[in-house]
Amino acid sequence: MTWLKSTIKKIWDKLGPIWRRWQFGRLLIVLFMTLFLATSVYLVVLTKTANVENLEATLSATTEIYDDEGKKAGELYSQKGTYVKYDQISQNMRDAVLSIEDRNFYHEHGFSVKGIARAALMYVRNKVTGSNAISGGGSTLTQQLVKNAYLTQEQTFTRKAKEIFLSMQVEQDYSKNKIFTMYLNNAWFGNGVWGVEDAAQKYFGVHASQLTTAQAATLAGMLTSPAQFNPIDHPKASDARRNVVLATMVANKKLTKAQASVAQSTTTVLHDTYNASGEYKYPWFFDSVISEAIKTYGLTESDVMNRGYKIYTTLNQEDQTNLQNDFDNDAMFNYVNNAQAASIVLNAKNGGVRAIVGGREETHTFRGYNRANQALLSPGSTIKPIVVYAPALQRGYSIDSELPNKVMSFGVNGNFTPNNAGNVETADVPMYSALEHSYNIPAVYLLNKMGVSVGYNSAIKFGLPLTSSDKTLSLALGGLSSGVSPQQMAQAYTAFANDGVMSQAHYITKIVDATGKVIVNTPKTKQTRVISSTVADNMTRMMLGTYTNGTGVGSAPSGYTIAGKTGTTENSLDQNNANSSKDSWAMAYTKDIVEATWMGLEGKNAQSNSLPLGLTSTMGPLVKTSLEQILPNTSQSTFTVTNPNTSTNSSNSSSSSDIWGTIQKDFNTGVKKAVDGAGKLWDTVTGLFGQ
C-alpha cells in the first residue's frame, strides 16, 4: 500500500504543475457543465415537442375509418383497447395496482429518486456480470405510461433521462387520477389484449368496474410480465403472483388479513367474452389504407393504429361487402378451388378505390400479401389495348383497319412466330375484331410495324412498371420480365373510361388527428392525360365488343353495357395440356368504374394443374355477379359511342345468330370443319379463341 501511495505521489509531482498551469480541473468542470446544459436543453425541447397535452386524447381515441360518404366503416387499433374512465375501474383494481406497482404514486412528482438509483445499480451490475436480467423496479406509473406511449423498451441511460423529463411534463399537464386512468388503459395484459377493460373481459368476462378483489389482484400481478403470469397459459404462477399482490394490499392497508385470506382461497374461473376483430370489417381495404398512410403520408404503423386518427377514404361499403361475400362463394370461380384470385374496383373519374379483395383465404393475415395491389403478374392480352391498339390509333390506324391473321414470323431472324389460341388462322380481320377476339398475330404484327419502343413507351405512360428487358415483341402478348398488379392495370384503364385522362389509384382522402387537426387535407394523387379523348372513344368502341361478340361473352352483367378486355397466360409448367392457362384476367369498365379481376395458379399448384381456357370457365360468374352488384350503386353514366358490331348484327334475328354471324366472318372454312358440332364451336370461340 505504501508503494502504491509513493507511485501516485511521484506521478502527481510530475503532472501536477502541468495540471495547475493549464487549469485542467476548471476545463473538466466547464466541459461537464456544458454537457449537462446541452443535455438538459435537448430533453426540454424533446418534452415540449412531444405534445404531451394531446396524450389523453390520443390514448382515449381509436383510429376510425370512414367511407366515401363520411360514414364510419370500422376501427384500427393494436396497442390499444376499449378506453374506460377512472370511475369505470373498480376500487379493487385501483388498490391492487397501486399496492404492487407504485404505492407512493400520489406523493411523487413523476419519478422516484430511490427507484432510479436502485435501477441504475442493477443496470451496472448486469453490465459487469454480463447478465440479461431486466433491470426493473425503478419506474413510477407515470414513467411506465410515458415509456409505453412515447419510448422504446431499451434499457439505456438516455431513454431513462427522456422518461424522467416526459414524466415531469405529464405530471404538470394531468391530474393523478387521469394519469392512473391513462396508464391502465394503455397497459399490456398479454394474449393480444391492451387495457384493463378488455383484460377484464378476456380473462373473466366482466367489465373493469365489476372486478372482484381476487380478479383485480390477478390482473395487477400480470403487469410486470403478462407472458409469465397470465392465468390462461400459467395458472399456477398466476395464482402465486395474485397472492403476492394480495399480501402487498394488506401491507398497504387496502385489505384486512381476513379479506386477503378469502381472496387467496378463491378458485380462478376464466371466462372469455373479448371480441378483438369486430371493427376490422374490411381487412383488405383497411390493410391498404394503412400501407398508403405509411408510404404516401409518412406515418408509422404504430401511429396509424394507436394515435386516434380519423381517416377518410374512398371506400364504398356496399361494394366491399358484396365483393368479400362473392370471394367466399366457390361458385363464383366455377369451383376451381386450387386457384387464387384478386379483384379491385376504382372510381373511373378520380381513381378512388371503391372495393378490393386480395385473395381467397379463410383467415386473414394482418397486412399480409395482397394480390390486388402487391402481386406482379403477367397481364396476358389485357395489355394489348395499352401497348398495341391505342398507339396504333394515335398513328393513323382506324378501328376497322384490316390486319393479317395468318401465321407469320417476326424479328430480325424471324425467330418469333406467335400463334392464336387453338392455332386458329383467318383471313384479314378488322382491328376491332382482332381486339375483341384477342387474336395474337394481328397484335404482334402491329407492334412490329410501329416498333417495340412505341408500345413500351405507351406502357410507361400508362403507369405500368416495365423495364428495358421488356422491349421485345412478346410485350404485345403481355410477356413481361416482372409483371403488374391488378391495381396498376385498373389505374391504366381509367384512361379509357375517362376520356383519355388516367387517375392515380388511391384510398385516403383526408386524415384528422385526435385533437381535430387536419394533417392530410387532399389526397396526394394526380391525373394525367395519356391519350386524346378521340383515341379513348375509339378504344372503348373496340372494347365494347369484348363482352358482346368476343372473349367475354357470357360474363357481361345483365342490363348494363360494359367495355373491357380479357386475357390469359400459358401454363408452361403443364406439358400435358396444351389448351390450358396459368392466369385468367378480366378488365371491365363503364364511364363510372373500372374493375380488374385476376385468377391464377401459384407455386406447386401451377406445376400439376392448369386453369381451363375461357373466362366463363374460370371467374366469369364473379365478373358478371360483382358488376351486377356494383353498377346499380353508380351514376350509371352511358357511353356516347357505339359498338362497331351493331350494324353487322342488326340484320340477324337473335343474339345467338349475332354471334354466329361474327364467327362466320372471322373464321375460315378450315377452322369450321375442325370443330365437331355447333356446341363445340361455341366453346372454342368463347374459350380457346378468347384469350
Q: Say what the pLDDT of residue 641 is.
A: 96
Q: Say what the pLDDT of residue 623 is.
A: 98
Pairing of strands 340-347, 527-529: unpaired
The active-site residue out of 64, 90, 99, 101 is 101
- Structural domain for 15, as ranges: 2-49
Q: Say what the pLDDT of residue 19 is.
A: 64
Given 236, 264, 292, the domain boundary residue is 264
272 sits in the region (left: phi over 0; alpha: psi -120 to 50; else beta) called: beta
The active-site residue out of 139, 378, 381, 581 is 381
On average, the pLDDT of the chain sits at 86
**Which among 392, 508, 393, 503 is positioned nearest to 448, based on CA atoms?**
392
Q: Which CATH number covers residue 120?
A: 1.10.3810.10
Most confident of 66-80, 454-468, 574-588: 454-468
Inform me whether the pLDDT recorded for 467 exceeds 80.
yes
> Percentage of the chain with pLDDT > 90?
63
19-23, 144-148, 232-236, 334-338: least confident range: 19-23
Same domain, residue pair 424 and 495? yes
Is 601 inside any structural domain? yes
Q: Confidence band (pLDDT; 50, 70, 90) for 303?
A: confident
Inform me whether the pLDDT recorded for 462 exceeds 70.
yes
Please state the φ and ψ torsions of residue 429, each to the nearest 5 degrees.
-125, 150
Q: Confidence band (pLDDT; 50, 70, 90) for 91?
A: very high
Tell me how far apart the alpha carbons of residues 164 and 52 are, in angstroms, rounded to a whole number: 13
Q: Say what the pLDDT of residue 691 is.
A: 42
Is 39 inside any structural domain? yes
Q: Say what the pLDDT of residue 271 is.
A: 95
Inform me whether the pLDDT recorded for 585 exceeds 50.
yes
C-alpha triplet 251, 99, 55: angle, nearest 5°: 165
> Percentage of the chain with pLDDT > 70?
82
Q: Say what the pLDDT of residue 672 is.
A: 39
Same domain, residue pair 151 and 15? no
Contact 72, 65 (CB under 8 A): yes
Contact 136, 156 (CB under 8 A): no
Is 568 inside any structural domain? yes
Q: Say what the pLDDT of residue 5 is.
A: 75
DSSP tag of 669: H
Q: How many residues does the chain have?
A: 691
Residues 328-351 have a mean pLDDT of 96
Identify the residue with better confidence: 170 or 478: 478
The answer for residues whose C-beta is within 8 angstroms of residue 660's C-beta and 6 or more apart is 652
Contact 96, 249 (CB under 8 A): yes
Number of domains in the chain: 3
205 sits in the region (left: phi over 0; alpha: psi -120 to 50; else beta) called: left
Is 372 inside any structural domain? yes
> How many angstroms separate the Cα of 262 from the Cα of each of 222, 266, 287?
20, 7, 48
Identify the residue with better confidence: 123 or 681: 123
Same domain, residue pair 579 and 622? yes
pLDDT tens for 515-568 read 899 999 988 889 999 999 999 999 999 999 999 999 999 999 999 999 999 999
Cell 411534463 belongs to 169
Q: Which CATH number covers residue 637?
A: 3.40.710.10
Same domain, residue pair 620 and 487? yes
Same domain, residue pair 96 and 13? no
Is 229 inside any structural domain? yes
Cα Rg for the chain, rounded, in angstroms? 35
The answer for residues whose C-beta is within 8 angstroms of residue 162's C-beta and 6 or more apart is 43, 46, 150, 151
**Which among 162, 161, 159, 135 is positioned nearest to 224, based on CA atoms?**
135
Inform me whether the pLDDT recorded for 95 exceeds 90.
yes
Q: Say what the pLDDT of residue 28 is.
A: 75
Q: Confidence band (pLDDT; 50, 70, 90) for 121?
A: low
Inform me whether the pLDDT recorded for 408 exceeds 60.
yes
Same domain, residue pair 484 and 551? yes
Is 298 inside any structural domain? no
Identify the residue with better confidence: 45 or 134: 45
Q: Is 284 helix (H, G, I), strand (E, B) or coil?
A: helix
Most confident of 9-23, 106-120, 270-284, 371-385: 371-385
Q: Say what the pLDDT of residue 616 is.
A: 93
E-assigned strand segments in 41-148: 63-66, 72-76
Inform me whether the pLDDT recorded for 320 exceeds 90.
yes
Residues 581-590 have a mean pLDDT of 95
Is 293 inside any structural domain? no
Query: How many CA atoms does the CB half-sphere of 124 hold within 13 Å?
Result: 5
Same domain, residue pair 88 and 44? no
Task: State the cell numbers at 307.
Answer: 394515435
Active site residue 381: yes
Same domain, residue pair 116 and 34? no
Same domain, residue pair 363 and 460? yes
Cell 414513467 belongs to 143
Is 65 inside any structural domain? no
200-204, 271-275, 620-624: least confident range: 271-275
Cell 406515418 belongs to 299
The answer for residues whose C-beta is within 8 angstroms of residue 102's C-beta and 6 or more apart is 108, 140, 141
Same domain, residue pair 379 and 257? no
Identify the residue with better confidence: 262 or 26: 262
pLDDT tens for 636-671 read 999 999 999 985 544 443 343 343 334 344 433 333
Most confident of 154-158, 258-262, 612-616: 258-262
Cell 379493487 belongs to 92
Strand partners, 529: 501
Q: E strand or H helix at 508, and its extent?
A: strand 508-512
Same domain, residue pair 27 and 106? no
C-alpha triplet 137, 141, 144: angle, nearest 5°: 75
Same domain, residue pair 142 and 258? yes
**Which among 182, 204, 218, 164 is positioned nearest to 81, based on CA atoms?**
182
pLDDT tens for 160-199 read 667 777 878 888 889 999 999 999 998 999 998 989 999 9
Q: Confidence band (pLDDT; 50, 70, 90) for 50?
A: low
Identify the residue with better confidence: 295 or 49: 295
pTM, two decimals, is 0.78
Crossing angle of the two packed helices 157-173 and 141-150, in degrees rounded to 10? 110
CA dihedral for 17, 18, 22, 26, sign (positive or negative):
negative
Given 264, 298, 314, the domain boundary residue is 264
Tell me how far apart the alpha carbons of residues 260 and 633 are, in angstroms, rounded to a whole number: 63
**Which among 206, 256, 251, 198 is positioned nearest to 222, based on CA atoms?**
198
Residues 213-227 have a mean pLDDT of 95
88-92, 108-112, 193-197, 374-378: least confident range: 108-112
